[in-house]
A and B are shown apart, each in its own frame.
Chain A
């Protein structure tokens, strides 16, 4: 009961603020609603007892990426940006992508029907008290079963970081 209330609350907030984020003209307002969306998503993670992912979402997306977003928005000249037309040339592409995503979700839901909690897409539910500690479980999977992809992703991020530093550096 409480789980459901919490889930629908966060899901509603996420969807509503996502819609508001797309429709606001002011870039800072959009950023605020994006932050709300991300926080509500984090709330859903917490409702699913994925504590580590909940806090990683807050620290990385809200506390890191969105801060830089807002920083950049404040640095660019907003008055010019506000007077420009919304660039809506991508309308048809966007529609196509949206349809493709909707189809994907539909196929997923359809293929997992009739197997509540037992299908390959939905692992069976575990009672809340018996869950292993989330951080340890995640670390175990990352450094055990998925070590190679994890390392590849790390190296990729490192390369991207070094690349960003090199590109931002003043050429003398």
Chain B
């Protein structure tokens, strides 16, 4: 064999886990985003007392696939006066940035592509912020006023809110003492409490800023339909539009993963060090088994044969996952010791497999559950709150969130000094710091009210108080 082939084989032997995980992410994330859209539509329908998509598949479960096919075979329109190269490039940038950022996310203790990157959290935040270029360049290349307005708004919004989000992350990182994703989760395991409870203000600021960063309501000014048609995506259609959409929803997953890792304990189950809560370890197995049973029960009631097969397929997948998850628990409950010899071999074989993959699956279950809860919160807010005006948005970012985040960094630092050098109780120190930050917030609000009152009394009311040229 020639040396090049040898080198390639050696390369593959070293890196095959990473390569396969990368392919899995690129392959699975589009599917997940499709189902996030379905979840959003179902949720919206539920909150508005409708049913939502019901036609394709049981309860519309196959709707995302139908949508994807539709988008793929749609006519691809490029405006005549668009900058063709940049128009092609922009959606790809948006999508690639979001998918690349996922490389450093640890979906459970076993599944992480860039395993030993030491600046994991910074990597996720920095690379996912590059998606902004896709928005800006797409808006510019479309050569349309709506698009460029959307792009400018988006830039202003993202640059402002990234500062607040970054400072909120700094507060959390002070508690963790490291940028390494695994070490952050380990720090939360060792301290026995999620950092979201130790630094609630930082978590809140990050949650608000991350909604703004993912361009979602109530901060979805870049694509405010009533003002800008669809913002930077106005001229896009078909697959390119799907790329933008994919990037946007993948970004939601990324933001949710950062919040989960730093503030919600990552892949740890609730109360990881409380022994009488150990029954929580049975939850993943029970959950997947319950979903499988539900699918079996509903399979017979589907109208079309394809749908019946689909339900059986989902049920089978659920049982395949539930088997290794549940086997150790079942044997522990039944105190199984002796089995017929044929079964015993199979039993040992399965136990060996489940010992390998159960920690990873457990971690992935809790991690994905937390991300889903976070994204559910996003959607809930979207259907609850009305949209902000652009100057209100910038005002909230610059006058309230950023000063508050700076005060919070200082307060968390003070709390850590109190704890480490003066031997205070950890909770006492952090309550002091939170109270400090909240009083700063009240002060800021009063200052704001005064400023607003002064502005309205000084200026005649019909004059607009903002002078953002890209406000609308």
Contacts and interface: CB of A to CB of B under 8 A. Distances in A.
Interface stretch (A60-68, A97-105, A109-117, A155-163): A60-68
Interface stretch (A9-17, A50-58, A143-151): A50-58
Nearest to A62: B130
Contacts of A1: 7
B122 interface: yes
B122 A74 contact: no
A152 to B, nearest CB: 21
B123 A68 contact: no
Given A29-B86, A67-B132, A67-B136, A59 B152 contact: no
Interface in B84-130: 85-86, 89, 117-119, 122-123, 125-127, 129-130
B136 A71 contact: yes
Q: Which residue of B7, B85, B129 has the most chain A CB atoms within 10 A of its CB atom?
A: B129
Contacts of B119: 51-52, 54-55, 134-135
Contact of B118 (A35, A71, A135): A135
Contacts, number: 69
A62 B134 CA distance: 13
Interface residues of B, number: 30
B311 interface: no
Given A62-B130, A63-B129, A74 B118 contact: no
A132 to B, nearest CB: 10
Main secondary structure of the interface of A (DSSP, over half): helix
Q: What's the interface size class on A, roughly?
A: 20 to 34
Contacts of B130: 58, 62-63
Q: Which residue of A26, A29, A59, A64 has the most chain B CB atoms within 10 A of its CB atom?
A: A59
A71 B156 CA distance: 9
Contacts of B83: 26, 28
B119 to A, nearest CB: 5
Nearest to A35: B133
B295 interface: no
Nearest to A1: B7
Interface string B151-186: 110011011001000000000000000010000000
B11 interface: yes
B140 interface: yes
A134 B136 CA distance: 33
Contacts of B136: 67, 70-71, 74
Given A58-B126, A58-B130, A135-B179, A74 B159 contact: no
Interface of B: 7, 11, 83, 85-86, 89, 117-119, 122-123, 125-127, 129-130, 132-133, 136-137, 140, 148, 151-152, 155-156, 158-159, 162, 179
17 contacts: A28-B86, A28-B137, A51-B118, A55-B119, A56-B122, A59-B126, A62-B130, A63-B126, A66-B133, A68-B159, A70-B133, A70-B137, A70-B155, A71-B136, A74-B140, A74-B151, A134-B119
Interface of A: 1-2, 26, 28-29, 32, 35, 51-52, 54-56, 58-59, 62-64, 66-68, 70-71, 74-75, 133-135
Q: Across chains A and B, which 8 residue pairs bring their CB atoms closest together, nearest first?
A: A59-B126, A63-B129, A55-B122, A58-B126, A51-B119, A55-B119, A71-B155, A51-B118
